[in-house]
């Protein structure tokens, strides 16, 4: 199944076949998709949202009016990121709302906001399914290119026999795969595909090591996840990606060659060498600010009770790029533990960046080693955009979309 790094919105309504939706969510996550569940209030009477939250590894959207602090309404944010929107199971009621453009809860509002393919898997009592109004609504949606998975015939949960049973999880997943494949092969580019075609993107990732002696070094907790996610997303959007990486705890992104470095000095030299032939630089690495003033060529013995290690400052890579910048778009990260926005704003100016991605590394679900991040984007035009907690891959795409719009504005 082709779900790796796809963002899927899974709508869940109040149908008795709701348990199959848990299975769909689970299979999607196992196949590498980013799954965001949106439930109707009636669906929550049948299954606890917590079950979907744990399985999808994301918060469940239930209500538009109490969903976080982001400036962007949650239905628009989700809708903008989705590759596919599917409702499993789709009740007669929700089908009716969609057919008439009604947007009176989170799910139906997301449905009218998405600009990706929509797939509905209806499930209901046979008489409900045959009802002329329900059939009229289904026909109206089909006429608008909404995809359907026809329900099956057989024993229904309500004790009846007839057509209305939710199709199998396998069929649902296969149909989703087919739709995504069809979308990929469409000649019109999607919002992501190809928007970085012909662009040279340099990404730094991971932690550097500053050696004290042959066996010991100073480093930090950076895992490389954020940088690798950015490199992968940029390549998927058509960029020519160069990834300069310190140590990382995650596997290398597929199809991207990594230039490995150990120390901040090595990273500095590698980045500056490549800078002239780069259009966008995204500095997601965590290079050490200081290194031991002296490297001891033999393992230091523990003879003394205390040991003082004089440190000296490493070159500031971002600052050097900011000073040399000509046509390049420079994106830096500000990993902070306090006064996040003030520090990020100062860094933006001091380093002559175009965009700062600020994150509070102490916040739960953000920062080093986490699979998710919570970031605020500050650009050189004074815009400040707070994003909700999202997978690092999703955050990567939002950053790249922002960079594309900054580059367009520059022209």
Binding site for ligand FMN (CB under 6 A): 13-17, 40, 42-43, 91-94, 123-124, 128
Contact 19, 407 (CB under 8 A): no
What the block records as the tokens of 187 is 């000649």
Q: Which is nearer to ligand FMN, 9 or 270 (CB)?
A: 9
Q: What is the DSSP string of 21-58?
A: HHHHHHHHHHTT-EEEEEE-HHHHHHS-HHHHHHHHTS
CB of 125 to ligand FMN, least distance (A): 7
CB of 70 to ligand FMN, least distance (A): 25
Bond from prior residue into 111 cis (ω within 30 degrees of 0): no
Residue 238 has phi, psi (to 5 degrees) of 100, 0
Q: Which is nearer to ligand FMN, 93 or 208 (CB)?
A: 93
The DSSP call for residue 286 is B
CB of 7 to ligand FMN, least distance (A): 23
Bond from prior residue into 89 cis (ω within 30 degrees of 0): yes
Q: List the end-to-end C-alpha distance of the chain, in Å, as a whole number.
A: 40
Report the residue count for the chain.
411
Contact 142, 115 (CB under 8 A): no
The DSSP call for residue 376 is E
CB of 48 to ligand FMN, least distance (A): 15
Contact 193, 237 (CB under 8 A): yes
Q: Which is nearer to ligand FMN, 15 or 322 (CB)?
A: 15
Residue holding tokens 């991971």? 206
Please list the active-site residues. 158
CB of 379 to ligand FMN, least distance (A): 39
Alpha-carbon span 253 to 237, nearest angstrom: 14
CB of 164 to ligand FMN, least distance (A): 7
What the block records as the tokens of 72 is 């962007």
Number of C-beta neighbours around residue 81 at 10 A: 20
CB of 40 to ligand FMN, least distance (A): 3
Q: Which is nearer to ligand FMN, 101 or 382 (CB)?
A: 101
Contact 18, 12 (CB under 8 A): yes
Number of C-beta neighbours around residue 310 at 10 A: 8
CA neighbor of 21 nearest in space, from 95, 159, 123, 105: 123
Contact 225, 242 (CB under 8 A): no
């Amino acid at each position: 199944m082709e779900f790796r790094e796809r963002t899927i919105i899974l709508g869940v309504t109040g149908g008795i076949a709701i348990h199959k939706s848990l299975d769909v969510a689970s299979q999607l996550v196992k196949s590498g998709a980013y799954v965001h569940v949106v439930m109707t209030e009636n669906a929550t009477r049948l299954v606890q949202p917590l079950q979907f939250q744990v399985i999808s590894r994301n918060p469940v959207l239930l209500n538009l009016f109490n969903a976080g602090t982001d400036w962007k309404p949650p239905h628009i944010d989700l809708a903008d990121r989705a590759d596919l929107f599917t409702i499993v199971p789709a009740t007669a009621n929700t089908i009716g709302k969609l057919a008439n453009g009604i947007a009176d809860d989170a799910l139906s509002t997301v449905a009218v906001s998405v600009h990706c393919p929509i797939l509905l898997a209806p499930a209901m009592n046979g008489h409900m399914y045959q009802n002329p109004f329900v059939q009229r609504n289904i026909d109206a949606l089909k006429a608008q290119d909404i995809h359907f998975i026809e329900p099956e015939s057989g024993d229904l949960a309500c004790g009846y026999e007839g057509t209305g049973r939710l199709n199998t999880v396998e069929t649902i997943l296969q149909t989703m795969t087919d739709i995504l494949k069809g979308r990929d092969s469409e000649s019109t580019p999607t919002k992501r595909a190809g928007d970085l075609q012909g662009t040279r993107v340099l990404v730094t990732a991971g932690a550097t090591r500053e050696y004290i002696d042959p066996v010991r070094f100073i480093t930090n907790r950076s895992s490389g996840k954020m940088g690798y996610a950015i490199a992968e997303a940029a390549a998927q959007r058509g960029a020519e990606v160069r990834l300069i990486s310190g140590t990382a705890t995650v596997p290398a992104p597929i199809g991207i060659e990594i230039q490995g470095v150990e120390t901040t000095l090595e990273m500095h030299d590698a980045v500056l060498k490549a800078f002239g032939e780069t259009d966008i630089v995204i500095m997601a690495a965590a290079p050490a600010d200081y290194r031991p003033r002296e490297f001891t060529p033999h393992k230091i013995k523990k003879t003394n009770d205390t040991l003082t290690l004089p440190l000296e400052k490493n070159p500031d890579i971002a600052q050097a790029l900011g000073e040399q910048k000509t046509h390049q778009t420079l994106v830096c990260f500000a990993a902070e533990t306090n006064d996040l926005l003030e520090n990020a704003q100062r860094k933006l100016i001091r380093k002559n960046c175009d965009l700062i991605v600020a994150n509070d590394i102490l916040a739960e679900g953000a920062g080093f080693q986490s699979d998710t991040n919570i970031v605020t984007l500050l650009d050189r035009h004074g815009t400040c955009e707070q994003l909700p907690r999202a997978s690092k891959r999703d955050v990567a795409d939002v950053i790249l979309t922002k960079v594309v719009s900054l580059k367009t504005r520059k022209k």
